[in-house]
Chain A
Amino acid sequence: MTNWKFLFDSDICIGCAACEVACKIENEVPLGRRRREVVTVEKGEYPNVEKYFASMACMHCATPPCLTACPAKAISKREDGLVLVDKDKCIGCGYCAWACPYGAPQLGTSGETGKLGTMDKCTFCVQRIDRGEKPACVTACTTKALIAGDASELETIKRERAARKLISIT
């Protein structure tokens, strides 16, 4: 069984937010709701300043704090790793948002992606996964800074990238 994970590499992210746009289009996420968001982080002072981007969304944790926190038992984890929310069970209390270390749960007032005020977040494009495709954000990423795959596959890719860099430098 696949254990689906995202891998994000800030070394090669250009901060364009193609991932966000693809997510919005694929999942018809209404404006104002951001299942994925590219965040800019600036460090240091002029001229020794560094700027990084991070594409932030649900990490589909192995032991999701949101799942543990949810009093309505609306959050579940599939065997293939996807963490999903059942909007019919969700009571919109927002405890999941407190528990999540990444700010993934979105609690808008609009009901366009489900019941009014219920929690909304990245579904790993479950509809695409179930038909054998990767999430929209990943297939859109212009520089392949954001990828998705089985955890072990991602580890291999990460190692290959690191190795290539080491070899180029030496």
Chain B
Amino acid sequence: MEKTENIEITAISRRDFLKLSALIGAAAALGIKGSRVVDALEATQPTPQASSEKLVYTVCGVCSGGCAEIAHVKDDRLMYLTGNPDDQIARGRLCVKGYAGRQLLYDPDRLKYPMKRTNPEKGIDVDPKWVRISWDEALDIIAKKFNEVKEKYGPQAIIFLMRPNDFAARLANAIGTPNYITHMNTCYSTHAVVWKATVTGTDRPWSYDIENAKYILSFGWDGPGKAKNMQAQHFINAKTNGARIVVLDPRQSITASLANEWIPIKPGTDLAFALAMINVIVNEELYDKEYVSKYCNGFDKLKSFIQEYTPEWAEKITEVPASTIRKIAREFATTRPAIIPTHKRDAAGPNYANSWRLAHAIVILNALVGSIDRRGGYILPRSFAFPKFEEAFPAPPYPSKVKERIDGREKFPITDAANKGSFPTLVEGIISGKPYEVKAALVQKYNLLSFPNPKRALEALKKLEFIAVIDVLPFEMVQLADVVLPEHCYLEATSVVPRTYFALYPQVAIRQPVVKPLYDTKGFGAIIPELAKKMGLGNYFEGVSSTAWFEKQLSAVGYTFDQLKKSPNGLLGDPKPFVPKESFGTPSKKIELYSTVLEQYGYDPLPAWKPKRDLPSTEYPYYLIIYRPPQNIMTQTQNNPLLTEIWGENHALINTMTSKKLGIRDGEYIFVESRAGKIRVKAKVTGGIRPDCIAIDHGFGHWSKDTKNAYGRGSCDGDLIPVVTVDELLALKDPAMAAMMEDVCVKVYK
């Protein structure tokens, strides 16, 4: 008993130290009264409740947030999950989806062994007629087919469709295909490109010190409404500490409902609002003069550029009174620390033709109030200096590749440097056979329903001769596979996970199996080298394994993998005081308000006003908005009955006045139709949306009958999103090649 208490006391004091060390500098400079409301409550490490209960430290895999968690295991069965209190991200809690993650482990519909299809026909309602095969046979089939395609059509005819992964990237390089395609331009390419060009030289930051902000301005950012664990905790702590919160969103998001002020701005006009704010802040000299002069470049150019964008000008575009814009600009600039958080698919995500410009305006606004890499603002990455994979495991020379990619990404040079991709142009590339034919695909955990216009994506994928899919659940992409490789669920996998979604100092967490893998599955890091070997490319993977990679990463920073495995709280990395960065990753080493990188590649160096692409017309009179329910992540969680019991299908949100005009009653089925397609969903009548908007929540419309709980729930919002071509994107001069996932208008009828 005494021992237990000692452990708990250590945990508390360590956490208090962490809190203090993190806040001391900022508190002195900014007068922050460091406090989290109920922080002391239950902030200790749990102890096993019975001798049969075991605690396993691991990392959640529901989203990319990486919350460290604790699995409570009894008799080799996972009982429940809790957040790890010592983790900078999780702080002892998880989100609703994280808790429900247990259900994924025990989902009866999981892929349990490798399978091959025996029905050559593919499509909706077509039974693939699966046959169980061994791992050996499965990998043999894939290797043989890939080598055939490579021989006959060239290595570029093989595409990799998956998130960035070092092992897979090496295999793609060894094969010699340039077509490693990720989903970035349907997710966050706008933020990534702009932050890279203006601030970081690499990627965008994911860490926001929202809880220490005194003013939070959201351009559609809805972290709390997506139940993002760390963002929700920060937001609520800021709110409880009296921060002023203003939300611009055509829909009353959950963040908006918790805010001091909700401004239902016209969709796609946030850029005009932001420009007018810059105008006021610059002309009234409300910006942080010291920060701007010391750390920013291009202020004079910004000043002359911004003159035409007055609040009166913005009023005409946004329908927000000039006086309101002025008021918010003044409040934002004078209530510091102030932050405009942006995360993935908010107004600055790749939703509209002008979203990348908004992303730039948001960087400028945050910089003007000194909120980049300062407490209460954006926190740039503070991670361990792990070696690069290619340096840790030097490879034999790679074959040369054709330059052109099937998704046309090489025509967008700022995105090209990182490992990015484009879904819609991939689809058009496959269908048109330009610049060349592609024939085979290796897909990992990407769902067909995540594509804009999934029906067109289905046509494209049906054109391929061969698809191998690595996944956990038999969703729609699996239904198109010729061979299926079942992967461990994240609760059965092992990896080293850096802290990114909130990190004030370098820290890593261990992901490790909470129970023995339930089925005949493998980890991704084991599958790829085996496939390479079967393809005759084993020489690229000599000495390469997941474990070897973890060792290389950790040993480079003075740890061992064993040390991480034995860490009493599943974490490594001691708290360090926060030292604000003095230089940035741009050519001038300053934040480039006027971006020389964008200019160099022929893009607007300052975010000049441009409207969104589609505007309401007589035929399609309503703006379409897509949002995310708290209980679902993308198209991945709808087979989880714990979550669908709370949010079981999607709806079309329609304003009360609009519903009366159209004679639509709450709960009745309506059609929503765009120039791309139409869907049937139930109407939900609400006062919490603009009368000229229809909002649909994402993630539903699954048609795979093998995911029994997800099947037939709601409709797919993607059916409404038109596919965009490389030429259209080039004409828009958008460096982020944004897929414009919401830039479309709709009609609604019964």
Enumerate chain A interface residues (CB-CB to B < 8 A).
11-12, 14-18, 20-22, 24-26, 31-32, 34, 38, 42, 44-47, 49-52, 131, 133-134, 136, 139-145, 147, 157, 160-161, 164-165, 167-169
B645 within 8 A of A: yes
B residues within 8 A CB of A17?
Answer: 96, 630-631, 646
Chain B contacts for A22, CB-based, 8 A: 80, 99
Please tell me the number of chain B residues within 8 Å of chain A, measured between CB atoms.
50
Indicate if the CB atoms of A161 and B37 lie closer than 8 Å: yes
Say yes or no for B184: interface residue by CB 8 A criterion.
Answer: no
CB of B264 within 8 A of CB of A47, answer yes
How many angstroms from the CA of A16 to the CA of B415 in the assembled complex?
A: 35
Partner of A42 from the list B232, B655, B688, B690 (CB cut-off 8 Å) is B688
Q: Which residues of A contact B690 (CB under 8 A)?
A: 46
Given the known interface contacts A12-B240, A46-B687, the answer about A133 and B49 at a Cβ–Cβ threshold of 8 Å is yes
Output the nearest chain B residue to A141 by Cβ-Cβ distance: B93
The 14 listed contacts between A and B (C-beta, < 8 Å) are A12-B240, A12-B258, A18-B94, A22-B80, A38-B646, A46-B687, A46-B690, A46-B691, A51-B257, A143-B236, A144-B38, A157-B41, A161-B38, A165-B242
Which segment, of B140-148, B223-231, B670-678, faces chain A? B223-231
The chain A residue with its CB closest to the CB of B686 is: A42
Instruction: With CB as the reference atom, state the residue of chain B lying closest to A133.
Output: B49
Task: Pick the residue among B41, B42, B96, B102 that contacts A18 (CB under 8 A).
Answer: B96
CB pair A16 B96 closer than 8 Å = yes
Are B257 and A21 in contact, CB atoms less than 8 angstroms apart? no
Q: Are B258 and A20 in contact (CB under 8 A)?
A: no
Interface status of B657 (Cβ within 8 A of chain A): yes
- Identify A164's interface contact among B35, B41, B262, B657, CB under 8 A: B35
Interface residues as binary, B464-507 with A (CB distance below 8 Å gives 1, 0 otherwise): 00000000000000000000000000000000000000000000
Instruction: Give Cα A24 to B687, complex, Å.
Output: 32
Check A144–B689 contact: CB distance below 8 A: no
B588 CB–A CB distance under 8 Å: no
CB B316 to nearest CB in A, in angstroms, measures 19
Chain B residues whose CB sits within 8 angstroms of the CB of A38 once the complex forms: 646
A29 to chain B, nearest CB (A): 10
A residues near B240, Cβ cutoff 8 Å: 11-12, 161, 164-165
Whether, in the assembled complex, B656 has its beta carbon less than 8 Å from a beta carbon of chain A, the answer is yes
Query: A42–B656 Cα gap in the complex (Å)?
Result: 12
Given the known inter-chain contacts A14-B232, A25-B102, please indicate yes or no for A46 contacting B689, CB distance below 8 A: yes
Given the interface pairs A25-B80, A134-B42, the reply to whether A46 lies near B254 with Cβ below 8 Å is no
Secondary structure at chain A's binding surface: helix, strand, loop or mixed? mixed
Provide the bound-state CA to CA distance between A52 and B549, in Å.
48
Could you tell me if A46 and B102 are in contact, using CB atoms closer than 8 angstroms? no
- Contact at B38–A147, with CB atoms within 8 Å? yes
Write out the residue numbers on chain B whose beta carbons fall within 8 Å of the beta carbon of A16. Answer: 95-96, 227, 232, 630-631
Nearest opposing residue in chain B for A52, CB measure:
B257
- Add 9 more A-B contacts to A20-B645, A32-B645, A164-B241 (CB < 8 A): A16-B95, A24-B645, A25-B99, A42-B687, A140-B93, A140-B94, A142-B96, A157-B38, A164-B242
Residues of A within 8 A of B82 (CB): 139-140
B626: Cβ under 8 A from any A Cβ: no
Please name the residue on chain B nearest to A25 by beta carbon. B80
With A21-B99, A26-B80: A45-B241 Cβ-Cβ less than 8 Å? no
Compute how far the CA of A133 lies from the CA of B47 in the bound complex, rounded to whole angstroms: 11
Bound Cα distance A143, B236 (Å): 7
B interface residues, Cβ below 8 angstroms from A: 35, 37-38, 41-42, 49, 79-80, 82, 93-96, 99-100, 102, 224-225, 227, 229, 232-233, 236, 239-243, 252, 254, 257-258, 262, 264, 630-631, 641-643, 645-646, 655-657, 686-691
- Given A14-B224, A139-B82, A143-B233, are A21 and B100 also a contact pair (CB < 8 Å)? yes
Query: Which of B38, B243, B655 is the most central at the interface, judged by chain A CB atoms within 10 Å of its CB?
Result: B38
**In the assembled complex, which residues on chain A have CB atoms less than 8 Å from the CB atom of B95?**
16, 18, 142
Out of B79, B641, B645, B657, name the residue touching A46 (CB < 8 Å). B657
* With contact pairs A21-B642, A136-B80 given, residues A15 and B38 touching in the complex (Cβ less than 8 Å): no
Find chain B residues with CB under 8 A from A50 CB. 257
Q: Could you say which residues of chain B place their CB within 8 Å of the CB of A145?
A: 236
CB distance from B62 to the nearest CB of A (A): 12
Please pick, from A45, A136, A157, the residue contacting B656 in the complex, using a CB distance under 8 A.
A45
A49 CA / B655 CA spacing, docked (Å): 11
Closest to B80 in A: A25
Q: Are A147 and B41 in contact (CB under 8 A)?
A: yes
6 nearest A-B pairs in the assembled complex, by CB-CB distance: A168-B242, A49-B687, A16-B227, A51-B257, A18-B96, A16-B630
Q: How far is the CA of A34 from the CA of B657 in the complex (A)?
A: 33
Interchain CA distance A165-B236 in the complex, whole Å: 12
Which interface residue of A44, A46, A133 has the most chain B CB atoms within 10 A? A46
Min CB–CB distance A141 → chain B (angstroms):
7
Contact in complex: B687, A45 (CB < 8 Å): yes
B41 / chain A contacts, CB cutoff of 8 Å: 144, 147, 157
B646 and A20 within 8 A (CB):
yes
CA distance A15 to B647 in the complex (A): 11
Q: How far is the CB of A33 from chain B (nearest CB, A)?
A: 10
Q: Is the CB of A142 within 8 A of B262?
A: no
Question: Is B646 a contact of A142 with CB atoms below 8 Å?
Answer: no
Is there an interface contact between A18 and B99, defined as CB atoms closer than 8 Å?
yes
Residue of A nearest to B100 (CB): A21
Task: Tell me which of B37, B641, B688 contacts A49 (CB under 8 A).
Answer: B688
Distance in angstroms between the alpha carbons of A12 and B49 in the assembled complex: 30
Does A18 lie within 8 Å of B241, measured CB to CB? no
Query: Which residue of A has the minimal Cβ distance to B37?
Result: A161
